[in-house]
Homo-oligomer: A and B are copies of this chain.
């Protein structure tokens, strides 16, 4: 990257405060700033670093009012985090060169349909009747089961395993080690208390623009489909049970688990290490704090909750205070 601050400001629709001719060639966090780098300030927690950063430019909000003199150059934008992200995406486009072609050391069924400009890396396996859409990148050591369909422009990282019949959309990213379509956890005890398998005959449908984190697991439905809708972002080691549905543009942080048949609404924000019981309905726009336990339906949209027991966020914070007090009260 070799851009002047002026050029960057122009790209981002921002305003330069300082020397627009300085050349930027890399990114750095504001607290680890270096000459020639651009940083950003989005979280007030990091404000103190802007007064001493060695970076040559910092993206800040138009509303930012410095409390001390600043020696670096500023680019004023509406949303610094969105702006740095846009700039990084441009940089990535310039520097990334995709792999292409189908490696000789692959195992691809003769009746699999492979679109134009697809990459399939070494030691990957594509089973009978699978379909891979154009421009999709299948990294090394990936497993694509029978009748799986993968859309266009999707990136499947090394070692991902997708079981038979599952459907993956366009513009998805699936990170290494994720497992899509393993059997849901269904067993039924017989008269002797010995568990018999409940066959899992459904599939997983992942729509478009979905990200799935490393080593996440999304189980196939018992019958019908487990569904991850458009624009959902799922972090590492998240477990999605059979017949679960995750609504559009919902975000789920790492190590959260969702038990079977629960339906999570659209545009929810779910923290890490949360657990959802099965067969629940969670309203659109719900926010759930990290490590919460969700055991009941949430019917009202856009609520914010946390804890075990799950409480509205204000009550949860009160409870944390009260638990501390409990210790003191009971001392007396």
Q: List residues of chain A with CB under 8 Å of any chain B CB.
A: 27-29, 32, 43, 45, 79, 81-82, 84-86, 88-89, 91-92, 103, 105, 107, 121-123, 125, 139-141, 143, 157-159, 161, 163, 173, 175-177, 179, 182-183, 185-190, 193-199, 201, 209, 211, 213-215, 217, 219, 222-224, 231, 233, 235-237, 239, 241, 243, 249, 251, 253-255, 257, 259, 267, 272-273, 275, 277, 279, 290-291, 293, 307-309, 311, 315, 318-320, 322-327, 330
Contact = CB atoms under 8 A, between A and B. Distances in A.
A176 B289 CA distance: 30
B213 A217 contact: yes
A314 to B, nearest CB: 10
A177 B219 CA distance: 13
A86 to B, nearest CB: 8
Contact of A143 (B91, B158, B253): B158
A23 to B, nearest CB: 18
A198 B186 CA distance: 37
A209 B327 CA distance: 42
Contacts of A318: 327
B176 A176 contact: no
Q: Report copies per complex.
A: 3
Contacts of A163: 157, 176
A169 B213 CA distance: 25
A11 to B, nearest CB: 15
Contacts of A241: 254
B233 A187 contact: yes
A47 to B, nearest CB: 13
B235 A237 contact: no
A125 B158 contact: yes
Nearest to A252: B185
Contact of A125 (B123, B195, B322): B123
Nearest to A318: B327
Contact of A196 (B85, B214, B257, B307): B85
B236 A239 contact: yes
Contacts of A309: 320, 323-324
Nearest to A295: B290
Given A140-B125, A309-B320, A255 B255 contact: yes
A277 B293 contact: no
A28 B211 contact: no
A196 to B, nearest CB: 6
14 contacts: A29-B224, A29-B243, A32-B224, A43-B279, A81-B198, A82-B190, A125-B140, A161-B177, A173-B183, A175-B179, A215-B217, A237-B257, A253-B259, A290-B293
A200 to B, nearest CB: 8
A45 B279 contact: yes
